[in-house]
Amino acid sequence: MFIDTHSHIYLKEFEIDSAEMLERAAAAGVSTILMPAIDSETHNSMMTMEHNSLVRCLSMIGLHPCSVNDTLENELAIVESLLQQRKFIAIGETGLDFYWDLTYKTLQYRAFERQIEWAIAYDLPIVIHSRQSTDECIEVISNYNGRGLKGVFHCFGGTQEQATKIIEQGFFLGIGGVSTFKKSGLDRTLKSVSLDNIILETDAPYLAPVPFRGKRNEPAYIPYIAQKLADVKEIGIRDVAAITTKNAEKLFSLAV
């Protein structure tokens, strides 16, 4: 059994075959799919996915750093309102993204810190996006030591030193398709990281693992990521599935 801890299966990329995609996920052993929010434009489609009868799908709520702009306060107000209305599995995805555009860098920090405060207030894990900003995100969360903050650095692709710092903060590493890319260099880092600190994710529809690299990603590809970890750790894929599923259940307080 697998848990895909990060999958945007509610996006338009899945409109034509949503049911079939979920059937493939179930056939691949995926029992649960966690859906990170992006912004208010996709909240409804995300929450609608929760009502399918094929795979358990659970929503997070938050504001993606790439959606941070001059509408920030309105977007955050929507997130806060939804938090007050219903239960979510986590806050996210949030964080910092310095890859595309630095125009709203200051606002990204403001959005990130506000969402950290909500994660603490609601006792929810936080799902961190840290593209080109891993060190900066580590620095931000270090300011909240001792306040019960917990979560995951999603799509982790950093160094051994960064992995150590993240784990020391009590956070998990979200490992996805990048781990299967030959030039990612993630093998060396993963060798030194205990499976007890890892959860699996696809980040579908993005970052499909080899042999599907460059194509649309989907939750059914989780076993390819698990197999890569099994190869690196020289253990069986069933062990990877069992340990990472247990980790996800612990972090996200998932009822078995």
pLDDT tens sequence across 91-142: 999 999 999 889 999 999 999 999 999 999 999 999 999 999 999 999 999 9
Joined tokens for residue 215 = 């194509």
Tens digits of per-residue pLDDT, 225-236?
999 999 999 999
pLDDT given at position 255: 72
Residue 79, Cβ density class (10 Å: 0-12 exposed, 13-18 middle, ≥19 buried): buried
Residues paired with residue 3 on neighbouring β-strands, in sequence order: 32
pLDDT score recorded for residue 176: 98
The one-character DSSP state at 9 is T
Q: Return phi, psi of residue 18, to 5°.
A: -60, -50
Q: What is the pLDDT of residue 53?
A: 87
Helix 105-121 and helix 72-85, axial crossing angle in degrees, nearest 10 = 10
Between vectors from CA 174 to CA 172 and to CA 175, what angle results, nearest 5°? 130
CA 105 – CA 235 distance, rounded (Å)? 42
Terminal-to-terminal C-alpha distance of the chain: 11
Q: Which helix (H) or strand (E) element contains residue 96?
A: strand 91-97
Answer whether 246's CB lies under 8 Å from 198's CB.
Answer: no
* Residue from 96, 85, 103 nearest 47 by CA: 85
- Rounded Cα distance between 229 and 198, Å, is 10
| Per-residue pLDDT, 179 | 96
**Residue 256: pLDDT over 60:** no
Question: Options 3.40.50.300, 3.40.47.10, 3.20.20.140, 3.20.20.70; which CATH number does 2-214+239-251 get?
Answer: 3.20.20.140
Task: Kindly report the pTM of this predicted structure.
Answer: 0.97
Identify the pLDDT of residue 185. Answer: 86
